[in-house]
Amino acid sequence: MTEYTLAAALVGIAALHVWTVFQHKQERKDLLTRLMARDLTEYQAAINTRPPPKSVNPIRDNIKRQYEAVK
């Protein structure tokens, strides 16, 4: 009984180690791509993603409307 438990624990630990190594390899590759990219658009082109959505800033919009109303 204990042999099977130890074997299962060993297989679990080995699987966890393989998964961790794979994750670290992907993160290092992504970090290198980020460091080598000139700007955000070049980084997004390298990883083939869409650009981030425009942020909605209600405070800036309110200030802009008040400024235009004063003009």
Mean of the per-residue pLDDT values for the chain?
88
Mean pLDDT within 18-26:
96
- Distance, in Å, from the CA atom of 54 to the CA atom of 52, rounded to the nearest integer, reads 7
Q: What is the pTM of this model?
A: 0.56
**pLDDT: is 66 or 53 the higher one?**
66
**pLDDT: is 29 or 45 the higher one?**
29
- Distance, in Å, from the CA atom of 67 to the CA atom of 65, rounded to the nearest integer, reads 5
Mean pLDDT within 29-58:
83
Q: How confident is the model at residue 46 (pLDDT cuts 50, 70, 90)?
A: confident
What's the pLDDT at 25?
Answer: 96
Report the SS3 class of residue 62.
Answer: helix
